[in-house]
Amino acid sequence: MRKLLLVVFVILCSCQSDKKEKANLKIQSIPQKILPPAPYFVDIKANDVKLGKPAYGDWLFSHKENGQSFEQFVRTKHVVPTKEENIIYLQPIGKFNSMQIKQIELVRQYLQIFFQLETKVLENVSNDIIPNHARRIGDVGQEQFLAGYILTDVLKEENPNKRIALMAITEKDLYPKPEWNYVFGLASYRDKIAVSSMYRMQKEADFNLGLERLLKICSHEIGHMFGLHHCIEASCVMNGTNSMIETDSHSIRLCSLCQRKLNSGFNYDNLKRLKELEAFFQKNNLDEGLALMKKDFEKIKNK
């Protein structure tokens, strides 16, 4: 049987939500008047790196996306935090080594800063929760879990207090359907749930690279849950991607436009968020992210 080579992620890559799903989400009230961007977003826009012409194999080469303006974002139904729903949860599934446990905790810390929402890690669940009919052996002998089963039969049953988003993280490889070799993850934006695998993120990667990939994947996917479409304006964590190489080449930073969208419903302190991101990147020796935050600070200081 010809093996299929999957070059499109479902998490971080395709990440396409169904329009019908969006209609069912709790939504932000549509404003009567859209104000011009605050000075913060105008200042940091100078640090946005415009995307070049897509090359063969790139996401935008094969996906002709129209992008999403700020006006389109605020006039489209999307999830925003409320007093009743304002906590992001991570659900580990599997037997994790000490390095993976540390990475999950760092992902929690990062998401709490990135979205300025409380983020918690739920108690670890054993791989035994996945029945035999939702497992298989992959092309190189690795065990794989059916991603859809985790969404519909594991996560959908969970409703922790004040949950606004729930993402499972597995140490096992995932597959979406029998004819596909693998998938990095899967999501349902209607139900505000997702699953992501650490298995391939850490292949041929040191601790920091594996961590950076997880930070990108989780912030990107949860960003979709809050209504952000793929970004085609600049190098941004919300860019679509067709491969791990393309993922690594995209920025971990939200561009100024995507930051403005996110902030419109959350109303967090932009400077506080920026300082906390800088401190996180510095503490964890993530040099690229640190440099990006410092550049944003410089633009603000020079105004």
Residue 42 and residue 46: Cα distance in Å, rounded? 8
Domains located in the chain, CATH noted = 10-301 (3.40.390.10)
Burial 56-71 (b: 16+ CB within 10 A, else e): eebbbeebeeeebebe
- pLDDT single digits (tens) 27-51: 454 454 778 899 999 999 999 999 9
106 membership: H or E segment, kind and range: helix 98-114
pLDDT in tens, 194-216: 999 999 888 878 999 999 999 99
**Model pLDDT for residues 286-297, shown as the tens digit of each residue:** 999 999 999 999
Instruction: Note whether 125 and 192 are within 8 A (CB).
Output: no
Confidence band, pLDDT 50/70/90 cuts, at residue 246: confident
Residues 6 or more apart whose CB falls under 8 angstroms from that of 196 comprise: 11, 167, 168, 169, 170, 184, 185, 214, 217, 218, 221
Spatial distance between the Cα atoms of 227 and 100, rounded to a whole number of angstroms: 29
Work out the average pLDDT over 243-261: 93
Q: Which among 155, 207, 218, 141 is positioned nearest to 184, based on CA atoms?
A: 218
Span 102-134, pLDDT tens digits: 999 999 999 999 999 999 999 999 999 999 999
With bands split at pLDDT 50, 70 and 90, how would you rate the model's confidence at 65?
A: confident
pLDDT, mean over the chain: 88
Question: For the segment 140-198, what is each residue's pLDDT rounded down to a tens digit?
Answer: 999 999 999 999 999 988 899 999 999 999 999 999 999 988 888 888 888 999 999 99
pTM of the predicted structure, to 2 decimals = 0.88
Query: Distance (Å, rounded) from C-alpha 228 to C-alpha 209?
Result: 25
Q: Which residues are catalytic?
A: 221
CB 170 within 8 A of CB 195: yes
Bridge partners of 121?
90
